[in-house]
């Protein structure tokens, strides 16, 4: 048998050697590469139609309501909604859109978030006894900071001439105003 010639080993080219050296040195300290950070989702607007909530009240058809319907709440009645927040923690401004015909005394509406009173306010008349029920206004209810998870909002109606019609409860991410301009004198 004739001996086979051994293969000739060629030296690595300079660029290949540099790449190999970098790869080997990156693994030499035993640390693993850092994982990319995952940002929490940004706060999103949450709109709660009146009708899908649970509790008291009855549904009425209203052509100008956001979903074509409202929930009619009288004194002593309450309605609640359960909703999810997906942002890590976010501040929200709360508003209630409703109608109230001009038929007598105004109702007091109390709004609770997770069992804590956010605000009580007196509703407004939105027009005469017939057209007022199809005219909607939005009133600010307050602000709240919510963490990710499930939350409950409850509306309670007291006093007044007998009713208010809730169209929508909206939680909008609060806008933080910052300025880089120097204060004016």
Rounded Cα distance between 82 and 97, Å, is: 18
* pLDDT value at residue 66: 93
Domain count for the chain = 1
* pLDDT value at residue 179: 41
**CATH code: domain of residue 62:** 2.60.120.260
* pLDDT value at residue 128: 81
Rounded Cα distance between 26 and 21, Å, is: 9
* pLDDT value at residue 87: 85
Rounded Cα distance between 124 and 184, Å, is: 38
Q: What is the pTM of this model?
A: 0.72
55, part of any domain? yes
**Which of 66, 75, 78, 58 minimizes the C-alpha distance to 152?**
78
Which residues in the chain show pLDDT less than 50? 20-21, 177-185
Task: Determine the structural domain holding residue 162 and report its residue range.
Answer: 46-173
């Amino acid at each position: 048998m004739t001996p086979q010639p051994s293969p000739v080993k060629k030296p690595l080219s300079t660029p290949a050697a540099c790449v190999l050296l970098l790869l080997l040195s990156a693994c030499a300290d035993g640390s693993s590469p850092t994982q990319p950070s995952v940002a929490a989702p940004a706060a999103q607007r949450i709109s709660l139609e009146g009708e899908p909530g649970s509790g008291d009240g009855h549904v009425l058809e209203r052509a100008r309501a956001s979903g074509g319907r409202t929930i009619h709440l009288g004194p002593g009645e309450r309605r609640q909604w359960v909703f999810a927040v997906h942002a890590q923690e976010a501040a929200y401004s709360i508003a209630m859109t409703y109608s109230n015909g001009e038929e007598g005394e105004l109702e007091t509406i109390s709004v609770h978030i997770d069992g804590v009173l956010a605000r009580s306010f007196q509703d407004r008349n939105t027009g005469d006894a017939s057209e007022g029920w199809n005219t909607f206004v939005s009133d600010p209810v307050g602000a709240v900071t919510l963490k990710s998870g499930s939350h409950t909002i409850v509306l309670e109606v007291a006093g007044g001439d007998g009713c208010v019609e809730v169209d929508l409860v909206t939680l909008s991410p609060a806008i933080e105003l910052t300025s880089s301009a120097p204060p004016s004198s």
